Amino acid sequence: MKKVLIISPSSDEQKMIEEVAQHHNPGGLSVETTASFGQDSDWWLVNMPDALIVCLPDDDLLQGYYFTKLRRDIPRTQPIIFLCKTISAALMQISMNFGKVRMIKTPVEEFSLYRALIDLFREFEPGQQQSHPRYLTDQSVEILSDFRDGKIVARMKNLSMSGAYFESAQRDFELVTGDFVKMSVGIGQPPKQYVFDAKVVWVKPQQTPGVVGYGITFIDKEEVYNNLLKNI
């Protein structure tokens, strides 16, 4: 049984996870919520959960306390999901301290939170440890090619400094591993269109009939990531 600890002033996130888990993995999760984030480093070494969910407060001072706590007391091996309204530079810096991180913009849908947990539980093969934290999103994107006419309309599901994952059921052309593409995304208010170069690293049919998932790696990683997160 996997142990999940949630740092939150409410039990809403726990109820969301338990509701999905009872249909997909009954008895597979033990979920606990606490409003306290005062446990010392020794407590974390003895009681480290399989996943920690931190609901970041909106208050800057309190958020600063959380970041100090994470940096000082939480083991770097602790898998973490951050729930937050915005992705700040301080959060990005903290996230680099941990090997397994997911960042989800609130409000969050229950299945998205549960799916992030299951993804966090996945064990990496030797040499395949995650190198960059992921930001889970649901952003409309268009995939274009210099070598083919048309476009693929898709939904970007997660984003990291190294690449992105998107899904689509609509395809004007077929993508295969190794293809070079351009990802077009509108960000900001009012939306401004940005186009980024990428390479397809894997293609996988999804459980939903007709839907295909694509993993891409950015060619200019840091520039792409910084631009996407600026207003997303």
CATH assignment of the domain containing 40: 3.40.50.2300
Q: Are 140 and 125 found together in one domain?
A: no
Position 230 scores a pLDDT of 58
Question: Given 99, 129, 159, which residue is the final one in a domain?
Answer: 129
- Flag whether pLDDT at 128 surpasses 70: no
pLDDT bin (cut points 50, 70, 90) of residue 159 is confident
- Flag whether pLDDT at 227 surpasses 50: yes
Position 80 scores a pLDDT of 93
- Residue 28 · residue 21 · CB < 8 Å: yes
CA distance 44 to 31: 16
CA distance 134 to 117: 12
> 226: helix, coil or strand?
helix
Identity (one letter) of the amino acid at 40? D
CA distance 47 to 41: 10
**Tally of structural domains, the chain:** 2
Q: Tell me the mean pLDDT in the region 174-195.
A: 81
Q: Are 70 and 162 found together in one domain?
A: no
Please tell me the least confidently modeled range out of 7-21, 30-44, 83-97.
83-97
131 to 80, 134, 159, 172: CA distances (angstroms) = 14, 10, 13, 33
**To which H or E segment does residue 185 belong?**
strand 180-187
- Residue 221 · residue 161 · CB < 8 Å: yes
Range of the structural domain that residue 83 is part of = 2-129
Q: What is the pLDDT of residues 81-113, one digit of tens each?
A: 999 887 777 887 788 788 788 888 888 888 888
Position 125 scores a pLDDT of 47
Position 186 scores a pLDDT of 77
Question: Given 129, 156, 175, which residue is the final one in a domain?
Answer: 129
**To which H or E segment does residue 166 belong?**
strand 163-168
Q: Tell me the mean pLDDT in the region 6-17.
A: 95
